[in-house]
Each structure stands twice: as structure tokens, then as C-alpha cells.
A and B are shown apart, each in its own frame.
Chain A
């Protein structure tokens, strides 16, 4: 069944083709800028504030903004804005508490990736933290890339009338893989910039038509109240009225989506790539304003669609998530409709390319370069990075083409898993001096394992029926303490250099996990099982991982005081570059780059020799 007219189909194809051609050209043009591994995975820290601001937003927004938020607006009315509230404060925390310190410190120690940052921050000479972090990133993000491919293929097949999902997936994915392989971080950020503008303008066009049609925000709300009073009810979620504890749980779960921000490495790595610390302010304002405008416009699109079409069955594919597409086809001339319809694809590609690059960086820089071949030439490293990026992209593509549904199972874990594994560490390592390497390791494994166990259980992967789930709740309750005990015993013993200390850390991890996790499982799965699915897993996994990091750090060997002082000095004191910029001294490119590289090496040696 064709869902759009042939004229619109052709225009969509042209708009899509134009978009794909633009991003491909960007990749080809920027290829010449990639000379070193730093260029490939971090753009040589040379990107400006507006590109980084847009890139940070585009890397996060994905199909969620083009499809999910309009769908939420359609079903939940004004309460869909709880999404924006949770995401806004989470991103504000990242820009204000993480960005500056992370940017400064990673430049001084020469860390190009988040696992490398963790290794330097905790003076982990054995590389346990780095290897663990790289493995977690690789597992979660490769599946995530595959899911973006699958989602974009389904989206376009649905609009264009089906039958060509594999073609859509393959074409979009191959172009994205090519520009990422060629231009690395430069291409990813600049295409994010284009993709961000594309989505912003697309939503703005629809919003301009909608708000002028309904007489502004007040007129729209009056119309919403007239069409369906639930849309302006503060108790309505997805068309159902809630109150009391359940309403509070749903709102808290919405807000808890924000816990995923600090740990999703493909987003926070943007802070490390900006040209100057002084540019972070402009980048932060750009990103935050873009978030507010795009999120509210995307939710408004759902409201327009509800007022205009009333029922989901009247949308092009009878799904609230297709609100944007339905409005574009009905309200706009074919050329503009084609542009707007390409926007969700742009958002998906902008997320997938960032995830692909971060995964390739983890494999090449954090595993191959760190553990297998430390003395390799830069040129070879860049070549290997490109090959790995290409191979990973193809694996994700094959996965999406042949096992599309199973990819989604992994994605269910990815946002929460990365958020719980890395979020607490990122915040605590930049602000808490007493955090130890073993504390960070215990936090990482608790967060990732907790999310996987909880999600598998609630999604009935372990016990397929509700009765079996209720009867066997204790299995899920004891799994986390047992698994984390084993992992922390191994990792902690290596990090502490002593089996006894590792055993102590593992015992503390297991006990704290048991104290929190067993009552949680009982309360959620036995006392009130109906509520279990409403509790977003990050609501428990993030604070629990943070608590584990705190308690385990207190019982394990602290880092040498002089080392910690130096570490926090690097995070908080302006770098040479900042001082030079403040005094308006013009950069002398070659000489300064050389001096800076020397400084990085010296500082790194200094840090390691202190411990």
C-alpha cells in the first residue's frame, strides 16, 4: 500500500538524495584534514563552539525527536513536556559540571577517549578500567548503530509504501559509513551540524504553520481542551488518567531518562573535541537553546496532529509516531514536505555516525593501541581506525538487515546501561577526590549488570510468564550481588594488587547491592508487580551504582594525595591555551602545536611518576 502520492514520493526521494549527497561531499572534503589519530577520533580538538553545540545535540536526538516526541505529544498532551524537563536539566548538568573539567584534563594528559580518561584519572597502569570501559562501549554501541539503521529503513519503507526496507537501510547506512570512514570526527561533527539545522528548520516550518493556524499557544491549548480534555490534564499519560503514587512513579521515571546523559559517551566526547575551553560557553548556550526549541516544537507537532486528525487511525500509518510525516504531507507543498520527511533520517544518521566513531575509537585506541601495539605509526593507526570503522559499520548493517528485531533487544539496554555504567563515574571522578579505581570499577559493573538483569526480567527474557516472574523473583534479586561479587573480585584484585583487598571490595559491593537490590526487587516484583514495568530502571541503577562507587572507594586504597592534587589542578586551572587566548596572543600554529604536544607528554609522565 502506497501511503503517499507518487508526486510526493518523487520529491521525498529527491530531498533524500540531496541530503545524502551533501553529507557524502562533506565527508570527502574533510578527509584531507585527517592526518593523525587525534584528528580522526577527536578532530584534533579544533572544532568551533557552534559545530560542537549542534553536534552534541544531534548526537543525542536520533529518531526519538522526529518520531517519539510527536507521538508522546499526541498521546500524553501537555504531560509529554516532562520529557523536556528531564532532558533539559540532565544536559545542563553535563555542560556545567562535566564539560569544562573534562576538556581541560583530557588535553593535559593527552586522552582521546573516555576509557583513556578513566585510565589517566585513576592512574590505572594495568589498564583494567580502560579495557572494561572499552568492552562495555563496544557491546552497547554497536547494537545501537544497527538499531538506528533498522529504524530509519522502517520509517521510510512505511511512508513510501513498504517493500524496500533493506534498500533504504543499505543506502543510508553505506553513505554514513563512507563519510565517517573518510572524515572521522570532522565529518561526524560537520554532518551533525547540517543534520541539526535540517531537523530544526523542518520542525520550525511545521510549527509556524501549526501555531499560525490555531492562534498561538493559547489558541492551541483551547483547541486541545475542546478536542480531548485529557490533553490538557496533568494526570494524563498515553490517554489514561493516573493519580497518587503511580502518577509520581511515572513522572519520576520520565525525569530519570536524564540519568542516561552523563554516561552516554558518544554525547560527552563532544566536550573533548572543542577548540578552546573558552568556547564551551557559546557551545553550551547553543546546545541548550537548541534542545529547548527542538524538543518543544517536536511535542507541539504531536499536539497539532491530535487537533487536526483526532485519532491515530487517521494518520498515514495509524501510529502517533507518524504525526510529523502526516502533517508534512497534508500541510506543506511537496518540496517542503520532502525536506521535512528527510529530517528524522538526518537525526538517526547523526546519532549512528557518532556511536560508530566512538566504538571504533574504543577498539583501536583503547584496545589495539593500548594493549597490542603501542609503538605503531600515526598513519597506520588512522588506516586501522578507518578499517575498523568500516568493518563495524558493515557488522551493524548486516545485523540490522538480517536480525533487525534482535538489535532492539540490545538497544533496550544501551541508553540505561551506558548511563548507569559511566554516568556516576563521570560526575564523581571530576568532583570527588576520594574516588578510587576499584570504586570506579565496581560502579561500572554494577550499573551495566543491573540494567541488563532488570531489563531482561521485565521484558520476560528470563521468565516468559508473569506467574513465573513472580514465583522466581528471588533469582533476579540474587543475580546482581553474585555477578558483581565475581567481577569485582577479579577486577578489584588486579587494581589493588592484592587478593585480600579485592575480596574486601567484592564483599562490600555484593552486600550493598544485596541491601538495596533485594528489597527493590521484592517491592517491585512481589508486593506490587503491576508497578514493575513503570519504574524506569535508571531510577534505581544510577543511584545504586553511585552508592557502590562511594562505599567501595571508602574501603579501598586511596590515590596518592599529591597525584590527586595535581589531577584536580589540571581540571580547574586554566590551560596555557586559555591563558594565551585571554591575553589575546595570536596562535603561532606549528610551533605552538609542537610545544603543546611536548607539554602533554611531560604532564602525562609527571602524573604517572607521582603515583
Chain B
């Protein structure tokens, strides 16, 4: 998983931050994904439905 590797490399570069940086980055990524899914399901993000 390239995303996971990216997050792990970010954490490795920042000693002392524990899981906090991963928690912060992952929550933002998940929120963006959920926003795309939510808007797609409700309104059709990629194409006009109606």
C-alpha cells in the first residue's frame, strides 16, 4: 500500500511524535474519502444523475 508506506515514512522522519501524526494524517485522508463518497451517493459527484 503506497499510502501506508507514505504515512510510515512521514512518522519515521519525525521521532517523538508517536502515533499522533499518523492519527492526524489518516483522519484527514479518511474525511476526504468519505466526503467524496457521501457527495457521490447523494448528488452524483462525477456525473449528473437527473
Give bound CA distance, A444 to B44, whole Å.
33
Interface residues of B in 1-50 (CB under 8 A from A): 10, 13-21, 23-25, 27-28, 31-32, 34-35, 38-39, 41-45, 48, 50
Interface centre among A95, A221, A578 (most CB of B within 10 A): A221
- Given A218-B13, A222-B15, A281-B39, CB of A92 within 8 Å of CB of B34: yes
Find out whether the CB atom of B31 lies under 8 angstroms from the CB atom of A292: yes
Chain A: interface size category: 35 or more
Give bound CA distance, A224 to B50, whole Å.
49
Q: How far is the CB of B7 from chain A (nearest CB, A)?
A: 11
Find out whether the CB atom of A232 lies under 8 angstroms from the CB atom of B42: no
Q: Of B20, B21, B31, which one neighbours A88 at CB under 8 angstroms?
A: B31
Report A-chain residues with C-beta under 8 Å of the C-beta of B34. Answer: 88-89, 92
Give bound CA distance, A234 to B20, whole Å.
7
Q: Of A84, A225, A289, A292, which one neighbours B17 at CB under 8 angstroms?
A: A225
Find out whether the CB atom of B14 lies under 8 angstroms from the CB atom of A81: no
Give bound CA distance, A92 to B17, whole Å.
30
Q: Across the interface, name the chain B residue whose C-beta is closest to A78.
A: B20
Find out whether the CB atom of B21 lies under 8 angstroms from the CB atom of A218: yes
Is A226 an interface residue when CB atoms closer than 8 A count as contact? yes
Find out whether the CB atom of A296 lies under 8 angstroms from the CB atom of B28: yes
Find out whether the CB atom of B43 lies under 8 angstroms from the CB atom of A217: no
- Given A221-B14, A280-B43, A284-B43, CB of A234 within 8 Å of CB of B38: no
Find out whether the CB atom of A226 lies under 8 angstroms from the CB atom of B16: yes
Give bound CA distance, A88 to B30, whole Å.
11
Is A285 an interface residue when CB atoms closer than 8 A count as contact? yes
Is A582 an interface residue when CB atoms closer than 8 A count as contact? yes
Is A470 an interface residue when CB atoms closer than 8 A count as contact? no
Find out whether the CB atom of A217 lies under 8 angstroms from the CB atom of B24: yes
Report A-chain residues with C-beta under 8 Å of the C-beta of B25. Answer: 217
Find out whether the CB atom of A95 lies under 8 angstroms from the CB atom of B20: no
Find out whether the CB atom of A233 lies under 8 angstroms from the CB atom of B20: yes
Is A574 an interface residue when CB atoms closer than 8 A count as contact? yes
Report B-chain residues with C-beta under 8 Å of the C-beta of A85. Answer: 27, 31
Find out whether the CB atom of A78 lies under 8 angstroms from the CB atom of B41: no
Report A-chain residues with C-beta under 8 Å of the C-beta of B16. Answer: 222, 225-226, 229, 232
Binding site for B on A (CB under 8 A): 77-78, 81, 84-85, 88-89, 92, 95-97, 99-100, 217-219, 221-222, 224-226, 229, 231-234, 280-281, 284-285, 288-289, 292, 296, 574, 578, 582
Binding site for A on B (CB under 8 A): 10, 13-21, 23-25, 27-28, 31-32, 34-35, 38-39, 41-45, 48, 50
